[in-house]
Amino acid sequence: MKKTKKKVVARSVAKKQTSKKTSTPAQSRFGTLGVLPMGDRVLIRPEAPEEMTSFGLIIPDSAKEKPEHGTVVAVGPGRRGDDNDLVPMGVQVGDKVMFSKYGFDEIKVKGVEYYILPESSILAVIHN
């Protein structure tokens, strides 16, 4: 009886050791959000607009404009050129960018609002 108990214990230890989570290349490509933009698209977390004016007036939600700048969260692999070569992206994750006011699609990931837009809708990279 003692031998069977030792075997069972050894098997359960082996199962615990092999069940460690390892990151696959696909998981690292998708980042922490689990979203990978396709082609030359970029995922941006918009910066919240100011809630109050410099005079102390509170701006209601209906009067707020959509933000035109934010932080790049994920970047697609790039677009294909005329000769079918991959053209790399001009922005990287973490860049602060200014983008076109109407050139994006709104998506929600894990309850947080993000904008996804083509790289051509990015007007400038902001350097502080």
Other C-beta atoms within 10 Å of 104: how many? 23
Judged by DSSP in three states, 63 sits in helix
Q: Which of 117, 54, 122 is nearest to 90 (CA)?
A: 122
Q: What are phi and psi of 80, to 5 degrees?
A: -95, 130
Q: Give the pLDDT confidence score for residue 20 in this predicted structure.
A: 44
b/e per residue, 4-31, with b = 16+ CB within 10 A? eeeeeeeeeeeeeeeeeeeeeeeeeeee
Q: Give the pLDDT confidence score for residue 34 in this predicted structure.
A: 78
Instruction: Enumerate the domain spans of the chain.
Output: 31-126
The pTM (predicted TM-score) of the whole model is 0.65
Question: Chunked in runs of 10, what are the mean pLDDT values of the chain (128 residues)?
Answer: 50 44 46 79 84 67 72 90 88 91 87 91 89
The fold for domain 31-126 equals: 10 Kd Chaperonin, Protein Cpn10; Chain O (2.30.33)
